[in-house]
Amino acid sequence: MSASPVFEGDFFSDSVIADPLAAYRQMRETGPIVWLPENNVWAAVAYQPCLEILRKPKLFLSGRGLSLNDEVNNILIGSTLHSDADRHRRQRSITATAIMPDALTSLAPAIERAADDVAEAVCSAGRFDAVAEFASILPLSIVVDLVGLPAHGKARMLEWAAATFNLFEGFNERSRASFQGLRELRDFLNEFGKPEKMQHGGLARRIFDEAPGKGVAPDEAAQMIRDYIAPSLDTTISTAAFLAWHFSDAPDQWQLVREDESLVANAVEEVVRLTTPIRAFSRYVAEDVEMHGVSMKQGQRVLVVYASANRDETVFPDADRFDVTRKTHRHLGFGQGPHMCMGMHLARLELHALVRAMAERVTSWHLDGVPQTAMNNTIRAFSYLPMRVERA
């Protein structure tokens, strides 16, 4: 076997986070799986190896943690995202049922009303920050009300979620600064993660109702509340803000959506593909394996770069173009395999409602200043996105 392809950049550096697409392209041109000496990890960057890794959970484990830093993994191992096989199935069956499409039907009217309120507010304002005033409102209010945490937890949710995502790398300044947030979330769940402290009818309380029947101890159940906190907010918020940005950048695509409501769902998937809010997660290599021209050794880690797979021209021709009519169904923005996003139905419900509410009211979106990138090791997002809309 010839020498492994190598990408010399730091995947988690400020420059790659600020302009990731050029780095992904360079990595894909280097090889389908490349070695990152700077981060001491393999990176699957073409579509096919990413798909294969996600679909081989016995060979590429989640249960040894998804972070490159084992100090972080020691705190997170055992959550749904960080577990394998039976334990994973058991946990997922407890937290996923309440956010599957059937269970969400009853929530749809409230989500649509909340989306209308957001759309009305930003249209009345005319100019707004699409992160704080458009993208964040709905996911925060829905998740917060749905989960039913005590007030203290609600206020800190966004901070804890961002901290968790910073820690998947684990060694740079950003991740060191985030340790405190991760510990606070763990301690909060240890202290307040008791059924009597959660609101009646909320998702968190439901975990405690289901857990005993599935052999899950109360302290384990408390940590499972993470499933609704860490992965749900930044991801949905990032996508909603990028929707605004893409529609301002490609007004013709906004006109298509306004003229044909049946395109709304596909437009949202296209933005999930292009944004890929979770850039990458790692897997632990359980056995020596040769694939796509490289030899990975047992005990090494491989990053599955969903964001690069979603720009692979062999699967998505003219991949950088925003096209609301494109066939999007193969995108990996929600992952694949047994760990595929369990909150995607809720995220879609919220995002579809937001786009519909705006399509009824807005003829065009305009960038109204200089956007700022959120500097997070895992999440791709704007931290500030000045927008102006023209009302119909």
Does 277 bind ligand HEM (CB under 6 A)? Our answer is: yes
Does 81 bind ligand HEM (CB under 6 A)? Our answer is: yes
Q: Which residue is nearest to ligand HEM (CB)?
A: 343
Rama region for 74: left / alpha / beta (φ>0; ψ in -120 to 50; rest): alpha
Q: How far is the CB of 190 from ligand HEM (least distance, A)?
A: 19
Amino acid letter, residue 189? L
Among 301, 339, 352, 380, binds ligand HEM (CB under 6 A): 339
Among 92, 205, 279, 352, binds ligand HEM (CB under 6 A): 92
Does 228 bind ligand HEM (CB under 6 A)? Our answer is: yes
Q: What is the largest CA-CA distance in the chain?
A: 62
Q: How far is the CB of 8 from ligand HEM (least distance, A)?
A: 26
Does 278 bind ligand HEM (CB under 6 A)? Our answer is: yes
Does 236 bind ligand HEM (CB under 6 A)? Our answer is: yes
The residue to which tokens 């393999």 are assigned: 42
CA–CA gap between residue 258 and residue 278 (Å, rounded):
28
Closer to ligand HEM by Cβ: residue 123 or 342 = 342
Q: Which of residues 56-75 bind ligand HEM (CB under 6 A)?
A: 62
Does 164 bind ligand HEM (CB under 6 A)? Our answer is: no
Q: How far is the CB of 324 from ligand HEM (least distance, A)?
A: 16
Does 99 bind ligand HEM (CB under 6 A)? Our answer is: yes
Contacting residues toward ligand HEM, per CB under 6 A = 54, 62, 80-81, 92, 99, 227-228, 231-232, 235-236, 239, 272, 277-278, 281, 306, 333-335, 339, 341-344, 346-347
